[in-house]
Amino acid sequence: MEQNKAKKHEGDPGKAVMKLDRDFQIGEIDKRIYGSFIEHIGRAVYGGIYDPGHPLADDCGFRRDVIELTRELQVPIVRYPGGNFVSGYNWEDGIGPKDKRPKRTELAWFAVENNQMGTDEFCEWSRRAGTDVMMAVNLGTRGADAARNLVEYCNFSSGTYWSDLRIQNGYKEPHNVRLWNLGNEMDGPWQIGHKTAQEYGRLASETAKVMKWVDPTIELVACGSSNSGMDTCYDWETTVLDHAYDFVDYISMHQYYGNQEDDTPNFLANTMDMDHFIENIIATCDYIQAKKRSKKKINISFDEWNVWYHAFPENEKAVKWQEGPSFNEDIYNFEDALLVGGMLISLLRHANRVKVACQAQLVNVIAPIMTENGGRIWKQTIYYPYLHASVYGRGTALDVLVDSPKYDSKDFTDVPILDAVAVESEEKDYLTIFALNKGMQDLVTDCDLRDYPGCHVEEMLVYTSPDLKLSNSADCPDRVVPHTSSDYKLEDGRLTVKLAAYSWNVIRIRL
């Protein structure tokens, strides 16, 4: 079926060439590029990270098995509490004695929020999970006052109303939240408190100003476009940064892809759209820098990205006004994992400007980790590319020169079948190549490594499947998992490797 939807170009479709060089440096990789996201939506919180009735719950009600997998992924930062949720959220509802916390109608996802998980609990969960917090403030129904109070509550040591209230609530030491979102997707008509670019730009700049007056050490992310398809995309960033450039450090990007038409070649080609989107946002930021004659450079926080479409039909049947309902629970297949790998390559390819990124989300809701309430846990197919990149992709990103066969699809032309990026480890003792074969046949690839004399391949991980639609489940958690391969040869600085059809590959080279 895929053969009919992708037009192959002339040339040998089964061969490709890669060239690596130490000097082909993209930039240092900020570890926060491997971040994740927990929003108060569906079972991400209740039944996900927080399930006090579970046999593996700790003294705070956090699922220890979820914490274990979060640590395995080495998630460096988690965005919280939203997402659309934050635009109607009163953060004060989620602090203090739990029996006094109100239940609220939650208008972003039409659920009931019981507020048993709030700011203090999430900061405590993050400590136990070995990750930092990226906190979002409500710029939908609220503004600068609530935001600066939350900074004071989280980061002030003592001696003020909000810091002393945190101490009274059982947290003597500050939470020291360093990275903050100034709202969420404020360009979207679906957003509670949706604003024009002018309205949001003014509010963001004034909110940023007082938040940094409370704590000058924090970093701030202004809302960019909700996705590349928004009619206001790029105009939005131009206007917002015109107002807020001097007060913020990052502009956000959000992007999801789906395969509703069941067109694999076109689906996998979406990495080209992601590259194009990132490069246009970078150009927009640099235009405002030039316009303002500023020495400051605005970087990117790609704080929502993933595959998302499987749960759309089920969402239409969702019952309103439940606590922790099953919602947006995409069950990912192997094909989805391939695109996730490609999106990770795209992020790394722009590591000089993309400094933060959050795969949305961490547990149950469009997530790599799935759980049953009170029951089992398993890894979805998308877990593995995320794991490999997070564990092995830290250091310096290197541009890989690729000569690959190409194809045309419904929405894209000249799509390279081979997509690749490399990372030289922080200790300079490993070179890791991440390579994605988007084609339906094996790809014999020659890789020039002569700039790394004496190197040898220590391990090759291959992630492939005989059926692109296979998924993992609680009953079959290991149906689609990576394996090691020895299908390579390295002689005189030239590596020849066979990349299986439709495969994600991680080649670990000892330097």
105 vs 375: CA distance, rounded Å: 28
What DSSP line would sit under 240-305, residue for residue? HHHHHTTT-SEEEEEEEE--TT--HHHHHTHHHHHHHHHHHHHHHHHHHHHHHT-S---EEEEEEE
How many of the other CB atoms lie within 10 Å of CB of 392? 19
Helix (H) or strand (E) holding 209: helix 197-214
Residues contacting residue 179 through CB under 8 Å, at least 6 positions apart: 32, 77, 132, 133, 134, 135, 218, 219, 220, 221, 356
| Active-site entry in 121, 185, 335, 424 | 185
Query: In sequence order, which ranges of 6-131 are alpha helices (DSSP H)?
Result: 64-73, 119-129
Q: Which own/partner contact pairs does 212-218 have at CB distance under 8 Å and 24+ positions apart?
A: 212/247, 213/148, 214/148, 214/151, 214/152, 214/155, 214/156, 215/151, 215/155, 215/156, 217/178, 218/151, 218/155, 218/177, 218/178, 218/179, 218/180
Q: At what angle do helices 383-392 and 64-73 cross, to 10 degrees?
A: 50
Angle at 250 between CA 244 and CA 255, to 5 degrees: 115
Kindly state the DSSP code that residue 321 receives in the 8-state scheme. S
What backbone phi and psi angles, to 5 degrees, belong to 300?
Answer: -115, 135
Active site residue 68: no
Picking from 42, 44, 41, 63, the residue whose alpha carbon sits closest to that of residue 52 is: 63
DSSP-assigned beta bridge partners for residue 25: 398
| Active-site entry in 113, 304, 335, 424 | 304
Retrieve residue 68's tokens.
């274990």
Active site residue 304: yes
Contact of 482 with 463, CB cutoff 8 Å: yes
Catalogue the active-site residues. 185, 304
